[in-house]
Amino acid sequence: MIQVDVFSERPLAGNPLAIFPEAEGLTDEQMQRIATEMNLSETTFVTPAAAGGDARVRIFTPAMELPFAGHPSIGTACTLVSDGLVAPQEPVTEVTLELNVGPTVVDVTVRAGQAVAGVVHQGPPAFGEDIPRDVAAAVLGLQESDLDEELEPRVVSTGLSYAIIPLRNTRSLAAAWFNFDLLPEFERRYAELYPFALTGDEEPFAEARCFGPLSGIVEDPATGSAAGPLAAYLARAGILGPGAARVLAQGRHVRRPSRLTLSVTTEGTRIVDVLVGGGVVPVMTGELTF
């Protein structure tokens, strides 16, 4: 087992990830029980590639398997390169992971033979329905006046769907907390919560939080699979320009400060790729016995 911190350039920050690079022979039930034991936002299990990629990777939260997630994709790809399971090539090594959502490409930055960062390509976004402002505010325990005056809450997906909820400022973001009575019906109707606020600064230009208690994650320190939909949302709103890389902050409220880079690629007015990146730092190795 290898543990890394993703979306950080220093240890003990960002989002921790446990990786089992030799998971052949484990059953689905064993993978889920191991992920529950690790009790991190996600745990990945690596087996040999089956469809022409570099590795087959499965992603589990403490409660369920996910078809895609951002920080597990980046952290696993970087670990495969650093451990030599994928031959490192400087300055960038392209790694293709076979996820349940399909082949997923991660561009891994390599320095002195070691992976130090990655960028996951999430593909074109899918924009879902608008969310009523009163419903979005209530599920976060806020008032409608806490929402951004110009931007509307909306469901967006780049592999996983999230309820992108724009708030007035970082004070409203700090005050947000899920209403557990309303949350199950909200997630059934819309998606998992990802409120954010623009900071008014050059860097980070926005801050976000991710609440997922129904999937076993009360508050996630950094959420690549939600940052992608947010990037697409901001690009459509004209806030994130094509090709521009901007920094998103997350994790401050759980004392795991994280920095995620967001960018989009367009063809005309159409978003054809969403990219989310960040640093990766190894912090632990170990052996699981059971």
Vertex 283 angle, CA 70 and 221, to 5°: 40
59 and 154 housed in the same domain: no
With contact defined as beta carbons under 8 Å apart, do 210 and 225 qualify? no
20 and 133 housed in the same domain: no
Phi, psi values for residue 8, rounded to 5°: -150, 155
Q: Report d(CA 121, CA 28) in Å as an integer.
A: 27
168 and 216 housed in the same domain: yes
**Domain, as residue range, for 166:** 126-277
Q: Which of 9, 24, 42, 202 is an active site residue?
A: 42
167 and 108 housed in the same domain: no
For residue 227, give both structure tokens. Answer: 């940052």
pLDDT classification of 215: cutoffs 50, 70, 90: confident
Q: Report d(CA 108, CA 75) in Å as an integer.
A: 10
192 and 248 housed in the same domain: yes
33 and 159 housed in the same domain: no
The predicted pLDDT at position 21 comes to 95
The predicted pLDDT at position 234 comes to 98
Tell me which long-range contacts 110-113 makes (C-beta under 8 A, separation of at least 24): 110/81, 113/82, 113/88
The predicted pLDDT at position 216 comes to 86
Which residue type occupies 236? R
Q: Report d(CA 288, CA 273) in Å as an integer.
A: 38
Average pLDDT over residues 173-184: 97
**Residue 31 domain-assigned?**
yes
**Residue 51 domain-assigned?**
yes
**Residue 290 domain-assigned?**
no
The predicted pLDDT at position 142 comes to 98
With contact defined as beta carbons under 8 Å apart, do 45 and 32 qualify? no
Eight-class DSSP state of 147: B
With contact defined as beta carbons under 8 Å apart, do 52 and 37 qualify? no
144 and 114 housed in the same domain: no
Q: Report d(CA 233, CA 180) in Å as an integer.
A: 26
Q: Report d(CA 251, CA 259) in Å as an integer.
A: 9
**Residue 131 domain-assigned?**
yes
Q: Report d(CA 122, CA 116) in Å as an integer.
A: 20
**Residue 60 domain-assigned?**
yes
The predicted pLDDT at position 275 comes to 98
E strands in 132-289:
154-157, 161-166, 192-198, 206-208, 210-212, 217-220, 246-250, 258-267, 270-285
103 and 130 housed in the same domain: no
For residue 41, give both structure tokens. Answer: 């936002």
The predicted pLDDT at position 270 comes to 96
136 and 252 housed in the same domain: yes
180 and 214 housed in the same domain: yes
Residues 117-156 pLDDT 10s: 999 999 999 999 999 999 999 999 999 999 999 999 999 9
209 and 261 housed in the same domain: yes
Q: Report d(CA 257, CA 3) in Å as an integer.
A: 17
Residues 18-72 pLDDT 10s: 999 999 999 999 999 999 999 999 999 999 999 999 999 999 999 999 999 999 9
132 and 54 housed in the same domain: no
The predicted pLDDT at position 131 comes to 98
**Residue 29 domain-assigned?**
yes
**Residue 32 domain-assigned?**
yes
Eight-class DSSP state of 216: T
Q: Is the pLDDT of residue 290 over 80?
A: no
Q: Report d(CA 130, CA 73) in Å as an integer.
A: 29
Is the alpha carbon torsion for 248, 69, 236, 145 positive or negative? negative
The predicted pLDDT at position 170 comes to 98
**Residue 72 domain-assigned?**
yes
Residues 113-126 pLDDT 10s: 999 999 999 999 99
Q: Is the pLDDT of residue 194 over 80?
A: yes
Burial of 86 (0-12, 13-18, 19+ CB in 10 A): buried
Residues 232-286 pLDDT 10s: 999 999 999 998 999 999 999 999 999 999 999 999 999 999 999 999 999 999 9
- Clarify whether 150 is annotated catalytic: no
Q: The domain spanning residue 136 has which CATH number?
A: 3.10.310.10
Average pLDDT over residues 211-216: 91
Q: Domain count for the chain, please give it.
A: 2
The predicted pLDDT at position 86 comes to 96
